[in-house]
Structure 1
Amino acid sequence: MGSRFREYWRTNYLPGERKLVQKIDFFILTFCCLSYFLNYLDRSNLNNAYVSGMREDLSFSGSQLNQITTCFTVGYVIGQIPSNLSLHYVQPRIFFPSMMLVWAGLTMVTASVQRPESIMAIRFFQGIAESTTFVGTHYILGSWYTPRELGKRSGIFTASGLAGTMIGGFIQTGIHSSMDGLAGLAGWRWLFIIDGIITLPVALYGFLLFPNTPQTTNAPYLSSAERHLAISRVPEVTDRSPLTWSFFKAVWKSWQWYGFIIVWIIAGETESFSSNALLALYMQASPTHDYTVAQLNNYPTGVPAVGIVSTLFFATLTDFLGGKRWIVAYFIAITGICTSAMILAPQHKPSVIFGAYYWAGAVYACQATFFAWANDAMRYEDEMLRAIVISGMNLGSNAVNAWWLLIFYAADLAPWFTRGMYAMIAMSIALGIWTTGLIYVENREAKKLVNRQDLLPEAEQERARNGSVDEIPTNNNLATKL
């Protein structure tokens, strides 16, 4: 095990490959992570603003906060597949920053609203603009990185979004204490203005330096040799236009479409504790404690903090274990059952409830690992099949979450969310069952493989000839090529 661990951290690169990876790490990850950080900062700041005066100023009632979240989710769902298909026709260097400018403008407009219904309309269009970031980045990461590299990069990207959630609470606390009433504006309004302004320079950075994909890059910092090397590191796939009936029939018949979309629908609902800000709602509705505005914003930041640690740990671990991303599903299933049981306990001890919500933050690990799993499984498939399945995963999850939160986690169900706890237990059990079935299908397909080396990327074949790798990586989807 020790020698294997040392070998994992001492990757054997071809001449010039280490420098290439360092370059794409810097320019891809800095832009994508900053973009996702701001994306999540914007989402979490709605909840921060709600508990920092927006609810009273705009006279919120009932489940209007959840309705706003649903409006965002509907727009987010609508934008999933079109945004990833757009990357086939519009350069990512243009498409990603353009969408950032749209959502930055809408964020700043939110500062002027006078009623909840206005936020509903804004968040719908904001959801369409922000739908590009998550699935688009996972498509880009799968286009540049090898299976040995992908998990860690996916983890770093996902952690950046969680950092946005975590830091959002502290930012709101600072703005509320220092800017509340400045120029006649409430602190929560300044939050949206500042959030939009800091997005603009990141968009400009993307316009100038994002490298597109290995096949289309014209980045000035990559030499001709480096561009060729980047192409040689990933499988050569046939480039077919996706907008044909035969393409959509092939997608509909593929096991990846059903397998990964359903696993992410289930896993996405196990994230509900964290993504729907239940801890903040519990604190605000607590029958035994009266929390301050600072506490309402700061205490929930522990949830994404746990998520960051868990995400980076499991992303690295599954790379080390050769891409066994599915182990995270079983960890999540156990976590979901245990944390729900802790909250359902009749004593309702605050220490136990806080511990449950913090532990539940570890479920965020599934984002990086499951999308890396899907990228690995479709590495030898048509790029647009990979793009549409990845976007379909997020579409399916958010389509369910749009109504799931209204039924199980509406704000007026705080502080205990009893029906949501039972739903969480059911989804955790379903996740374990579906994952087992998906593993079986993968293993069944793997038995059909022959002549694997002929289908490896050029760079991997070179490593195999030089003895730089111990074994040739398997991929179930090679079977479709044989």
Structure 2
Amino acid sequence: MAFSKIREYFHAEYQPGERKLVRKLDFFILSFCCLMYFTNYLDRSNLNNAYVSGMKEDLNFQGNQLNIINTCFTVGYVLGQIPSNLSLYYFKPRFFFPGMMLVWAGLTMVTASAQSPQAIMAIRFFQGMVEASTFVGTHYILGSWYTERELGKRSGIFTASGLAGTMIGGFIQAGIYKSLHNKSGLTGWRWLFIIDGLITIPVAVYGLLLFPDTPATTVAPYLSEAERELARSRVPPPQVPERGTFSLHFLRRVLTSWYWWGFVGLWCIAGETESFSSNALLALYMKAHPAVKYSVAQLNNYPTGVPAVGIASTLFWATLTDFLGGRRWLVGFFIGVTGVATAAMVLAAERDPASPRSTAVVFAAYYWAGAVYACQATFFAWCNDAMRYEEPVFRGVVLAGMNLGNNAVNAWWSIIFYGASMAPWFNRGMWAMIACSIALAVWTAGLMWKGRREDQRRVALEAERFAAGDDDHKGAEQVPEDKV
């Protein structure tokens, strides 16, 4: 029985021409979105790489100024969330995404000229505003093109590309430091910002030329008219007509819906379970190690194991939850266990801080903690799945609200619990991680229950309409048994 289910999953039935269409979508949509997110995270993570590669000493960083810079970025990121997603209704994605990329590429290269931490704070604030366009905007686009059966894997591949940017950023910085340090009068960490910005530009040009927008607006030359119609038919229509205006009535509807509070609350909690990785705690632990002096290459290369684990975990859980019919909530329980266990490992290692065994336990804990990155793809896919029958602008605002809520918490969370001056043990942060992980498991259970009740309500409503002979609504909200 299990074998037949696996066979069915990998040999799904397609409509005539649908398999070819999906291959085209994968090539053009995923290639651009993944490259865009790769450069996004490359530009974002290079600050931590630069910090441990000489920037701290060159610019005379004091106390928690690194965390304050990250907070400035987060504040800009929060302010840009909902405006960025709403902009997708007024500007075609193939213009909007590349435009934002060119702006953040320029800001990244300008960072190379910074002479003080305060200058970087200002640059990162504006960089956060423009980079807010990428993550939730792409999840909105993926939800517009892909079916529920296909969405998890694509979301996982997209998220993994960002982690690849984090991972490869360490190797790039190590290579730049070795080959370009003090070339043309610039230190290695300054060259990092210049090169990262240059890498972004050709990706933006590629998107401008070939990104297909949405099924309703696409004019991509590689899609025939029949394929465009097929793409529109694959995604179920919303329960209510899409509105073109953003009104107070619409805002009230959003803020009183369980989708908003359920999924925004989910990501506010789940996003903080990524704190070990997103705050580069392993690199800061190594920099402040009580017994070992690590080289610049080691400080950049050893932490790359964290996003590597994140990539493997993301792809595994995205594929598994697709295979299990969209049971994204499983990841919430896995992350709850992981967060409690890894924080407990670091707390235990602190008792004998200078021993080799303590160091091994801390490395193991931070590497394992990288697995929590799986929640990015699966939780945003969960929201896309749950809101598949809602109007697109509603879904887009909730997706943006998820990231907005999480980053609003991030703006102060990292300073309180993971300040650079708290290295190497971050004792307060370990207890915060345990609390967040337990809260995530509880919230996941509640959201899973609510989602099931909503599915039952929709099926019951559809049955009533069929019984009443309302042929106009037949199939409009029907939940398909065989998802492509």
TM-score (norm 2): 0.94
- Does residue 266 (structure 1) correspond to residue 275 (structure 2)? The answer is no
Q: Distance in 2 between matches of 1:235 and 1:15?
A: 18
Deviations 1:315-355 (A, max 9, x none): 00000000000000000000000000000002340000000
Question: SS state of the match for residue 51, structure 1?
Answer: helix
Deviations 1:384-433 (A, max 9, x none): 11000000000000110110000000000000000000000000000011
1:436 to 408, 424, 445: 445
- Does residue 353 (structure 1) correspond to residue 362 (structure 2)? The answer is yes
TM-score (norm 1): 0.95
1:303 to 301, 306, 321: 306
Q: Distance in 2 between matches of 1:102 and 1:400?
A: 26
Which residue does 2:289 correspond to in 1? 286
- Does residue 421 (structure 1) correspond to residue 430 (structure 2)? The answer is yes
Q: Distance in 2 between matches of 1:455 and 1:372?
A: 26
Q: Distance in 1 between matches of 2:341 and 2:304?
A: 21
Which residue does 1:99 correspond to in 2? 100
Gaps of 5+ in 1: 465-470, 474-482
Alignment of 1:186-201 (within 5 A): 186-201=187-202
The answer to whether the 8 A contact 1:234-1:457 is kept is no
- Does residue 380 (structure 1) correspond to residue 389 (structure 2)? The answer is yes
1:276 to 274, 279, 295: 279
CA deviation after TM superposition for structure 1 residue 264, in Å: 0.5
Which residue does 2:469 correspond to in 1? none
CA separation of 1:208/1:457 partners in 2, compared to 1, >3 Å: closer, same or farther?
farther
Q: Distance in 2 between matches of 1:65 and 1:145?
A: 39
CA deviation after TM superposition for structure 1 residue 455, in Å: 6.0
The answer to whether the 8 A contact 1:75-1:126 is kept is yes
CA deviation after TM superposition for structure 1 residue 434, in Å: 0.8
Which residue does 2:404 correspond to in 1? 395
The answer to whether the 8 A contact 1:242-1:248 is kept is no
Amino acid at match of 1:399: A
Q: Distance in 1 between matches of 2:162 and 2:227?
A: 30
CA deviation after TM superposition for structure 1 residue 361, in Å: 0.2
Question: SS state of the match for residue 213, structure 1?
Answer: coil
Which residue does 1:468 correspond to in 2? none
After TM superposition, the structure 1 stretch with the greater mean CA deviation from structure 2, 437-446 or 427-436, is: 437-446
Which residue does 2:175 correspond to in 1? 174
Q: Distance in 1 between matches of 2:311 and 2:186?
A: 34
1:368 to 377, 381, 394: 377
Alignment of 1:6-25 (within 5 A): 6-25=7-26
CA deviation after TM superposition for structure 1 residue 457, in Å: 6.4
Which residue does 1:185 correspond to in 2? 186
Alignment of 1:13-412 (within 5 A): 13-237=14-238, 238-345=241-348, 346-348=351-353, 349-412=358-421
CA separation of 1:100/1:456 partners in 2, compared to 1, >3 Å: closer, same or farther?
farther
Q: Distance in 2 between matches of 1:416 and 1:198?
A: 35
Size of the alignment, in residue pairs? Answer: 464
Amino acid at match of 1:24: L
Amino acid at match of 1:427: C
Structure 1 residue ranges, 4+ long, deviating more than 6 angstroms after superposition = none
Deviations 1:61-101 (A, max 9, x none): 11000000000000000000000001011100100000000
Q: Distance in 1 between matches of 2:456 and 2:4?
A: 29
Q: Distance in 2 between matches of 1:160 and 1:360?
A: 18
Q: Distance in 1 between matches of 2:16 and 2:446?
A: 41
Q: Distance in 2 between matches of 1:305 and 1:179?
A: 26
Amino acid at match of 2:266: V
Amino acid at match of 1:282: Y
CA deviation after TM superposition for structure 1 residue 253, in Å: 1.1
Amino acid at match of 1:442: G
Gaps of 5+ in 2: 467-472
CA separation of 1:122/1:455 partners in 2, compared to 1, >3 Å: closer, same or farther?
farther
Which residue does 2:455 correspond to in 1? 446
Amino acid at match of 1:128: M
% identical aligned pairs: 69
Q: Distance in 1 between matches of 2:476 and 2:418?
A: 46
CA deviation after TM superposition for structure 1 residue 443, in Å: 2.0
CA separation of 1:297/1:457 partners in 2, compared to 1, >3 Å: closer, same or farther?
farther
Amino acid at match of 2:413: W
The answer to whether the 8 A contact 1:261-1:396 is kept is yes
